[in-house]
Structure 1
């Protein structure tokens, strides 16, 4: 009977800690998303950039115009991106700054069968849009599909993998082209996918489950004491 009590107490403790951890994690995610929203709303006027500073945090979610030239011959197609129930690509084009740094430009979405916009991109027009730092999410398998010709198809937004394929360092910042830019495709990028309020609601749900478990455990303690 003592062993059963220990097992029950262990299971109770693990579940309670897990539920509370999930609640705190969702709260933290909500705070992070709220910060991003604030940064995105406090955009300044276009900054003209010929280089990206080492401390790029003040540039996050800010508008900028880049000085340099396009590297159109080495474009990437980010696969499995949907728009209005249609599968397509987001077109990623490297851009060489005057400083020699390379920044990836997200031109936007295009349908799978339409590659013409890649060939029509002029090299003289400077890009302007929003800067952000993409994060490498969870993925399985290789980032790039096996192919020897450009543009190359990528399955995940993995900046180190793109850097290795280009054989050049890439800035951690990516610029999402403004929708009103002449070379912009359909812009589907959003600063956040899930709002802070959704995260707060999930945090409340996990906390409610933790509270319910605690109440049940508190009520059940007498049974274990009497057993």
Structure 2
């Protein structure tokens, strides 16, 4: 291959490499900016005054539930209602502070005049009995009118199920242990008017439940790290090209001839 064409091909490859790595670095910065903006929006929502029963019932009514993002998402609430303890479910294989156990879910029916609104509450975490895996831990569910504080979330997060369907449990639906829960199926099976949302209960440990929920973070550090790597690679390609294809090819030979 003629020297001229070799120089052209190397130059073209270097330009493409620099353009690609710069583009990837810029994309990582854009991802970091998007996540930071999303995190700040969540933080602003969580700093809002808490909704009461009437405000939540209005926020969950009509087409607003389908909005993206929903106006109730991450909103603090302070609700009054009654636990439906007989419908409590236990989500299996959930961790808190690195320990495996259950997330306890209990429907909460809002106090009148909003009794037609029933919310799934993620009440907290309990350890499981590894000696008897189907044994349910003891959780106290108060009767009568209760006050529940927390923040609104989407439906409980899902774990991967090997060959199972949504909501399957190890006892073939005979126990209240579930790998995942589908609120629509839960509503159909229980006859409760469950809303397609959940409440993450906050506060100190009580009723046999821990509530050391992880704090949300922006998670932009890894994107900044990836961007630095891509920009560093672009700089490296540039330095290598300048040294081998310009300095060693043109500058040094001209100096040696002089």
Counterpart of 2:43? 37
Q: Does the 8 Å CA contact 1:133/1:172 hold for their aligned counterparts?
A: no
Verify: 1:63 aligned to 2:87, yes or no: no
Q: Does the 8 Å CA contact 1:130/1:177 hold for their aligned counterparts?
A: yes
Gaps of 5+ in 2: 1-5, 65-69, 130-134, 250-258
- CA 1:191–1:57: 2 relative to 1, 3 Å: farther
Deviations 1:155-191 (A, max 9, x none): 4xx6xx2322332664343222243586472112245
Counterpart of 1:145? 168
Question: Alpha-carbon deviation of 1:92?
Answer: 0.8
Counterpart of 2:234? 214
Between the aligned partners of 2:224 and 2:127, the Cα distance in structure 1 is: 40
Verify: 1:24 aligned to 2:30, yes or no: yes
| Number of aligned positions between the proteins | 216
Verify: 1:87 aligned to 2:100, yes or no: yes
Between the aligned partners of 1:184 and 1:51, the Cα distance in structure 2 is: 29
Gaps of 5+ in 1: none
| Largest Rg, 1 or 2 | 2
Between the aligned partners of 1:39 and 1:221, the Cα distance in structure 2 is: 50
Identify the match of residue 108 of structure 1 among 121, 124, 129. 124
- Which shifted more, 1-10 or 178-187? 1-10
| TM-score with structure 2 setting the length | 0.65
Identify the match of residue 166 of structure 1 among 187, 192, 197. 187
- CA 1:34–1:162: 2 relative to 1, 3 Å: same
